[in-house]
């Protein structure tokens, strides 16, 4: 999904989920902004209900994490890596379903200074047999997905994505679904090959 090397990424995840007492499907918005250089990540993440972002560093070579508190780094163990790991998990399923069932090149554009091929992706335009197989998998999971993806012509990596999807949201016991919700995903990469991330601890 991602550009390899160094880059800046901006993400908005408007995701359906069960509310606290599993009585209804609600949406929560997570915003992520990060500089990435190889395994080193400088992350800002605002979770649903939060008013200020969590700022932290994941320094891959040393496998150390630091949360920034009032400008000072505080060591953490695993929490930031878990947050970062959930980013692709939230994007890959609805993106893959749309792109696998139907991807049609609609033109070319420049995204943050990089030439890109533009594709319409839409699960509803796929092969009817594949769509039937998808919808027969159960009440929980992605039901439909559509959007636009911009693919970097040099690297083949994603530069930008907008995606709308519908899914069955698990209930307290998992299956059957509590109900169906809709989600919205925006991803954009910039500063490809121009980002440096160093540890906040000297």
Instruction: Give pLDDT tens digits for 96-141.
Output: 999 999 999 999 999 999 999 999 999 999 888 887 777 666 677 8
| Cα–Cα distance measured from residue 188 to residue 106, given in angstroms and rounded to the nearest whole number | 19
* Tokens encoding 53: 């972002």
Paired strand residues for 185: 13, 163
**In the prediction, which pLDDT does 163 show?**
98
Q: Rounded CA gap, 183 and 157, in Å?
A: 23
Q: Are 187 and 160 in contact (CB under 8 A)?
A: yes
**Residue 56 belongs to domain spanning:** 6-190
Identify the pLDDT of residue 130: 82
Q: Count the domains in the chain.
A: 1
Residues of the chain with pLDDT under 50: none
Q: What is the pLDDT of residue 140?
A: 76
Domain membership of residue 144 (yes or no) is yes
Integer Cα distance of 13 and 187 in angstroms: 9
Listed residue (112, 106, 185, 105) closest to 145, CA to CA = 185
**CATH code of the domain containing 99:** 2.50.20
């Amino acid at each position: 999904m991602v550009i390899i090397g160094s880059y800046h990424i901006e993400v908005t995840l408007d995701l359906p989920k069960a509310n606290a007492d599993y009585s209804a499907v609600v949406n929560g918005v997570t915003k992520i902004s990060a500089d990435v250089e190889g395994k080193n990540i400088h992350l800002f993440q605002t979770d649903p209900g939060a008013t200020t972002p969590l700022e932290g560093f994941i320094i891959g070579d040393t496998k150390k994490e630091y949360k920034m508190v009032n400008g000072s780094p505080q060591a953490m163990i695993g929490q930031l890596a878990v947050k970062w790991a959930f980013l692709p998990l939230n994007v890959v399923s609805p993106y893959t379903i749309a792109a696998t069932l139907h991807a049609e090149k609609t033109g070319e554009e420049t995204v943050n200074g990089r030439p890109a091929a533009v594709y319409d992706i839409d699960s509803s335009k796929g092969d009817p047999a594949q769509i039937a197989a998808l919808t027969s998998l159960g009440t929980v999971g992605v039901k439909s997905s559509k959007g636009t993806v911009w693919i970097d012509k040099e690297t083949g990596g994603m530069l930008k994505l907008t995606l709308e999807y519908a899914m069955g949201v698990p209930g307290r016991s998992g299956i059957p679904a509590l109900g169906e919700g809709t989600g919205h995903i925006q991803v954009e990469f910039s500063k490809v090959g121009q980002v440096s991330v160093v540890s906040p601890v000297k």
